[in-house]
A and B are shown apart, each in its own frame.
Chain A
Amino acid sequence: MYRLAGGWTPCPPLLDTLSAPSFQKELEKQIEQGAKRIVFDCSDLEYVSSAGLRSTLIIAQKAKAAEGRLVCCCLRGLVKKVFEISKFSEIVPTFDSLDEALK
């Protein structure tokens, strides 16, 4: 899930070509409405494909453009591995727990 300065929105357990676009649109809307700090809680995220990664990148970019930022936390399993291999953490900072991410 990701948390805005304000509300929660659930993140699907699967972020792939099918689910990524609607997820991306939702977050873009939130940014337009003024969300600045987005925390991407990946505790439920089981799998992410390259399309999902791309959507995340786009959101990170848009957040940055709106003078906010996107961070991730609670990555596990395959997703964690993917993020490490692709060095995603350099674009989207990752944390181990929600508390740390909120700081």
Chain B
Amino acid sequence: MEIRLEHLTKIFPGREKKNPKDVVAVSDFHFVIPDGKLVGLLGPSGCGKSTALNLISGLEVPTEGRIFFGEDDVTDLPPEHRGVGLVFQNYALYPHLSVRQNIRFPLENLKGEAKLTKEVMEEKVLEAAKVVQIEGLLDRKPSEMSGGQQQRVAIARALVKKPKVLLLDEPLSNLDARLRLQTREEIRRIQCETGITTVFVTHDQEEAMSISDSIVVMKEGRVQQVGAPQEVYDSPANLFVAKFLGNPQINVFEGEVVRERLRIGEDDVLAVNGAPDGRVFVGIRPEGFVWKEDGAFRCAKKSVEVMGRDSSILFGHTGAVTTQPRAIMDSEIASQKIGGEVRFDLRPKKVFLFHPETEERILFS
């Protein structure tokens, strides 16, 4: 089911004494989530991504704008009539019910003609349990299971009614690092198998990049950029997106464009055809530095962080806005010399220019 958000806005009225200002949680969301895709809503805490998810689920009513599932306008429908499955951050499994009862719970709510017999319910419960591979744990209580298993139960409960849309709120944040890797693959697999349009919320860029077909980067209730993960990484729309995606973070410098040449500090580092003259923020991905004897970018090497296959060279530069700029390269090259001046050439595709005030991207060729 395709999800279409049209100028969606959610304003929480400020409570009078504590915070008299209205809070704009979601502002003018306007994009389409294609049918059968896995989409990640990505942003720092408090950027409104959970509110966006709640708007899609129907738990919150938008202040303005419409939501369409396919051709149907669902804006005024309560959550139970939208056909959504929702997985909560803390799973919200009912602690007093067994796994089987938890997964069956949504089915038992069906009334009238939709009412199911016990046998059909059992069948559906088993089917959902199989998708998430917990069919052996059906008689356990949630408290007797690990976080990852609880997560699967929550997904099974969301899937059992065959929703048109599956929504996951920070699905991996309560898992330890290893389980997180495993579970995100699992979510990807379940999504592929069922083909359900899935939206998930996360503040972890790596998580979003690794499994999404498409990511929506948000900041302070506004959409910054929508696109395939690689596309957004390779071509960030503004400084925020550039800084938010990528680990280690992008290095930011103050620079200046003079007659289509980019200067950082003393050095003339790159030809930037088509960029207007003036001060700019320069973002350089850590992998954008190429070590070279007579490279154009000079800096003072401070130390090397060895990470195995690659190493980071930490360096100092007078024009740096980033507190600790770093370049990533082969461990062999990085370890050659410690201290003193190093020189780099820059890969043009890994260098982005941003307007100093609006922080919007300035394109060059």
Q: Are both chains from one complex?
A: no
